[in-house]
C-alpha cells in the first residue's frame, strides 16, 4: 500500500486564501483522506518582492475556517519541518549545485539588460522568447572563479536540446512537450532564493508527496519539473491538474471581476459547508446530487472523474446552496452562528432569537442577510421606506388595541374585520402596519412578528408615529 501524501503550496502574496487555492486544497484534502493519508501545507514564500504581511496567517486561518485541516504545516510542524521555503534555503542551493556539478544546470551571469535586449530581438524575429544559452558555454571551473570574485549569478536548468518530455496527468492523460521549446529556467535567483520550479520539486520529493494536485496554470511548466526529477534520479509523484476557476466572462478568476478571497465569502455570511459543497460540484459531480457533505465526497471521489473544463464561479448557485444549508441547520447552531456573525444582535438574546429564527430562517441565504430581515426586532425603525398612509394605519391600530389575546390568529381576525367594516382591502392595511412596525415593505410574516414583539411594544411603536 502506497502512502498517500498531498499538499497545497500557497504563496503569501495575496490578501487571503484565494478561492482557487481553496478549491485545490479541498481536492488535495479529499484525496488524502480517502486514502488515509496526510494533507500538508507548505508555504512557498520565495518571491521576496511580492510578500504580503500577514498573508500566511490569514491563509491558514481561512483554511481552518473552511474546515480543511492539515496534518503538517508551518503552524503545526511535522516530520519534514520546516514547512516554509524561506526557512529551507540551504537545501535548495545544495541541490542546485549538485545539478551544476553533473552538468544538468549551469551558472549564468547575464544581466537583466542583456536578457531584455535578447527578448526584444527574439520577438522582432518572431522567435519564442527564451534564454539563448550563452552562459552554458562557460566551463564550470571558470564560473566558480567568477563567483569567487563576487560576480552576481543565477543557476539555470540545462534543458536538453533534443527529444520530448512527456508526463501522465491523472485527469487529462498524456501530455508532451518538445524539449527545444522548454526554456533554461532559472533555478536559483541572484538573491539566493530558489524559484518555484526548484522549490516544489525538491520539497515534494523530500516531503514524500505522492500526488501533486494543482491548477492547470502549471501544465506548461510541468516538463521542467519532470526534467528535474530525472536529473536528480528521483521518482516522479503522480500528478494531476485541475481546471482554473473563471469569471463570468470566462477569463481566469480575478478580484476585479469576482470576489476571490475566502474572507470575502466569510464576511458575507457564507457557511464553510456550503462553500465546500459548491466547490466540490465545480470539480466533480456525484450521482446527480447537488447537496452532499465532504464525507460523502471522500467516500465517492475519484481523481479521474474530475472535470476537465474550467468552470465559471457562479455566485447565484453558491447563494442558493448556502440558503439550503441555512434552512437545514439546527436552530441552536444557527442562532450561535448568527449571534457570532452579526454585531447588531445582543449576545444574551438567545430566547428572543429562538422566536425570531423560524420567521426569518427560510428568507435568508447568507448570515449577512439576517440583519436587514430582523433588525426591527431589536430596534425601532428610524427610517421608513416610504410615507405611511395614516388612515389605513389607524384601522390597524384600532383593531390591534382591542385584541384580547395577543396571538396572530386573533390579530388577523381583528384586522380583517376592521378592514371589512371600513370597506378597505385588508392587504393594504397589513402593508401600512408592516411599514410602521418594520420600516420596510418586505420582511418576515407580520402578525407572527408582532407576537414576538408583544402587544405593549407594538402599540407603543404605533403610538409614536
Under rule CB under 7 A, which residues in 71-110 are in contact with RNA?
110
Question: What values do phi and psi take at 168, rounded to 5?
Answer: -105, 120
Counting contacts by CB under 7 A, is residue 317 touching RNA? Answer: yes
User: Half-sphere exposure of 452 toward its Cβ, with a 13 Å CA cutoff?
Assistant: 23
Scanning 207-271, the segments in alpha helix (DSSP H) are 222-232, 262-268
Q: What secondary structure letter does DSSP report for 43?
A: B
Of 52-60, 62-70, 138-146, 318-326, which segment contacts RNA by CB under 7 A?
A: 318-326
Counting contacts by CB under 7 A, is residue 439 touching RNA? Answer: no
Q: Which of residues 328-367 bind RNA (CB under 7 A)?
A: 362-363
Among 118, 219, 298, 388, binds RNA (CB under 7 A): 219
Q: How many residues bind to RNA according to rule CB under 7 A?
A: 87
Counting contacts by CB under 7 A, is residue 385 touching RNA? Answer: no
Closest CA to 60 of 74, 46, 80, 48: 74
Hunting for cell 512537450 — which residue is that?
A: 177
Of 348 and 423, nearer to RNA (C-beta) is 423
Question: In the complex, what is the shortest distance from the CB of residue 245 to RNA, in angstroms, rounded to a whole number?
Answer: 9
Among 170, 310, 352, 459, binds RNA (CB under 7 A): 310
Question: In the complex, what is the shortest distance from the CB of residue 250 to RNA, in angstroms, rounded to a whole number?
Answer: 4
Question: In the complex, what is the shortest distance from the CB of residue 203 to RNA, in angstroms, rounded to a whole number?
Answer: 11
Enter the C-alpha cell of residue 131.
534564454
Is 255 tagged catalytic?
A: yes
Of 217 and 350, nearer to RNA (C-beta) is 217
Q: What secondary structure letter does DSSP report for 11?
A: -
Q: Which of residues 269-298 bind RNA (CB under 7 A)?
A: 281-282, 285, 288, 290
Q: Which of residues 135-174 bind RNA (CB under 7 A)?
A: 152, 154, 172-173
| C-alpha span between 311 and 314 (Å, rounded) | 9
Q: What secondary structure letter does DSSP report for 4?
A: P
* 252, 255, 268, 440: the active-site residue: 255
Of 29 and 196, nearer to RNA (C-beta) is 196
Among 441, 454, 460, 465, binds RNA (CB under 7 A): 441
Counting contacts by CB under 7 A, is residue 447 touching RNA? Answer: yes
Question: In the complex, what is the shortest distance from the CB of residue 162 to RNA, in angstroms, rounded to a whole number?
Answer: 16
Draw the binding track, 387-426, toward RNA (x: CB under 7 A; -: no contact): ---------------------x---x-------------x
The pairing of beta strand 211-215 with beta strand 154-157:
unpaired
Counting contacts by CB under 7 A, is residue 120 touching RNA? Answer: no
Of 428 and 460, nearer to RNA (C-beta) is 428
User: Half-sphere exposure of 45 toward its Cβ, with a 13 Å CA cutoff?
Assistant: 21
Enter the C-alpha cell of residue 420.
371589512
Q: Are 70 and 59 in contact (CB under 8 A)?
A: no
Question: In the complex, what is the shortest distance from the CB of residue 48 to RNA, in angstroms, rounded to a whole number?
Answer: 8
Question: In the complex, what is the shortest distance from the CB of residue 348 to RNA, in angstroms, rounded to a whole number?
Answer: 27
Of 178 and 460, nearer to RNA (C-beta) is 178
- SS3 of residue 213 by DSSP: strand
Among 36, 53, 111, 162, binds RNA (CB under 7 A): 111
Question: In the complex, what is the shortest distance from the CB of residue 454 to RNA, in angstroms, rounded to a whole number?
Answer: 16
Question: What values do phi and psi take at 155, rounded to 5?
Answer: -110, 130
Among 76, 147, 181, 299, binds RNA (CB under 7 A): 181
| Range 415-439 burial, b when 16+ CB lie within 10 A, else e | beebbeeeeeebeebbbbbbbbbbb
Counting contacts by CB under 7 A, is residue 121 touching RNA? Answer: no
Compute, in degrees rounded to 10, the torsion defined by CA atoms 134, 135, 139, 145.
140
Closest CA to 407 of 459, 444, 455: 455
Burial of 176 (0-12, 13-18, 19+ CB in 10 A): exposed
Of 66 and 360, nearer to RNA (C-beta) is 360
Beta-strand runs (E) in 186-237: 186-188, 211-215
**DSSP letters spanning 347-371:** TT-HHHHHHHHHHHGGG-SSGGGHH
Of 3 and 94, nearer to RNA (C-beta) is 94
Among 314, 371, 398, 457, binds RNA (CB under 7 A): 314
Question: What values do phi and psi take at 167, rounded to 5?
Answer: -140, 160
Q: Which of residues 3-32 bind RNA (CB under 7 A)?
A: 9, 11, 13
Among 117, 191, 331, 332, binds RNA (CB under 7 A): 191
End-to-end C-alpha distance for the chain, whole angstroms: 75
Could you give the residue numbers annotated as active site?
255
Amino acid at each position: 500500500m502506497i502512502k498517500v501524501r498531498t499538499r497545497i503550496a500557497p504563496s503569501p502574496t495575496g490578501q487571503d486564501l484565494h478561492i482557487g487555492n481553496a478549491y485545490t486544497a479541498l481536492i488535495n484534502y479529499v484525496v488524502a483522506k480517502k486514502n488515509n493519508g496526510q494533507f500538508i501545507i507548505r508555504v512557498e514564500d520565495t518571491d521576496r518582492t511580492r510578500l504580503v504581511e500577514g498573508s500566511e496567517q490569514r491563509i491558514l486561518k481561512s483554511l481552518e475556517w473552511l474546515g480543511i485541516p492539515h496534518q503538517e504545516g508551518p503552524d503545526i510542524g511535522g516530520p519534514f519541518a520546516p514547512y516554509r521555503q524561506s526557512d529551507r534555503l540551504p537545501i535548495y542551493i545544495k541541490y542546485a549545485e549538485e545539478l551544476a556539478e553533473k552538468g544538468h544546470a549551469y551558472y549564468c551571469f547575464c544581466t537583466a539588460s542583456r536578457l531584455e535586449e535578447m527578448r526584444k530581438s527574439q520577438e522582432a524575429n518572431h522567435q519564442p522568447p527564451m534564454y539563448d544559452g550563452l552562459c552554458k558555454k562557460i566551463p564550470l571551473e571558470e564560473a566558480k572563479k567568477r563567483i569567487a570574485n563576487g560576480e552576481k549569478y543565477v543557476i539555470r536548468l540545462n534543458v536538453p536540446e533534443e527529444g520530448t518530455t512527456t508526463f501522465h496527468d491523472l485527469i487529462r492523460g498524456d501530455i508532451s512537450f518538445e524539449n527545444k521549446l522548454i526554456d533554461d529556467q532559472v533555478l536559483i535567483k541572484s538573491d539566493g532564493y530558489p524559484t518555484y520550479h526548484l522549490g516544489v520539486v525538491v520539497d515534494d520529493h523530500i516531503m514524500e508527496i505522492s500526488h501533486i494536485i494543482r491548477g492547470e496554470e502549471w501544465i506548461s511548466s510541468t516538463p521542467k519539473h519532470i526534467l528535474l526529477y530525472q536529473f536528480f534520479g528521483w521518482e516522479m509523484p503522480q500528478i494531476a491538474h485541475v481546471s482554473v476557476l473563471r469569471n463570468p466572462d470566462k477569463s481566469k478568476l480575478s478580484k476585479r471581476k469576482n470576489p476571490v478571497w475566502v474572507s470575502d465569502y466569510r464576511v458575507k455570511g457564507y457557511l464553510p459547508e456550503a462553500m465546500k459543497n459548491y466547490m466540490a460540484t465545480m470539480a466533480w459531480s456525484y450521482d446527480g446530487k447537488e447537496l452532499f457533505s465532504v464525507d460523502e465526497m471522500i467516500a465517492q471521489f475519484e481523481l479521474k472523474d474530475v472535470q476537465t473544463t474550467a468552470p465559471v464561479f457562479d455566485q447565484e448557485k453558491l447563494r442558493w446552496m448556502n440558503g439550503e444549508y441555512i434552512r437545514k441547520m439546527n436552530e441552536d447552531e444557527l442562532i450561535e452562528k448568527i449571534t457570532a456573525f452579526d454585531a447588531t444582535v445582543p449576545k444574551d438574546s438567545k430566547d428572543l432569537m429562538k422566536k425570531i429564527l423560524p420567521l426569518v430562517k427560510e428568507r435568508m441565504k447568507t448570515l449577512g442577510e439576517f440583519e436587514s430581515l430582523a433588525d426591527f426586532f431589536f430596534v425601532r425603525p428610524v427610517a421608513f421606506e416610504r410615507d405611511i398612509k395614516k388612515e389605513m394605519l389607524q384601522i390597524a391600530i384600532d383593531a390591534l388595541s382591542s385584541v384580547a389575546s395577543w396571538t396572530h390568529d386573533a390579530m388577523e381576525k381583528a384586522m380583517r374585520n376592521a378592514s371589512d367594516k371600513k370597506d378597505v382591502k385588508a392587504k393594504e392595511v397589513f402593508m401600512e402596519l408592516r411599514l410602521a412596525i418594520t420600516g420596510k415593505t418586505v420582511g418576515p410574516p407580520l402578525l407572527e412578528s408582532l407576537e414576538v414583539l408583544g402587544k405593549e411594544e407594538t402599540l407603543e411603536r404605533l403610538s409614536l408615529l
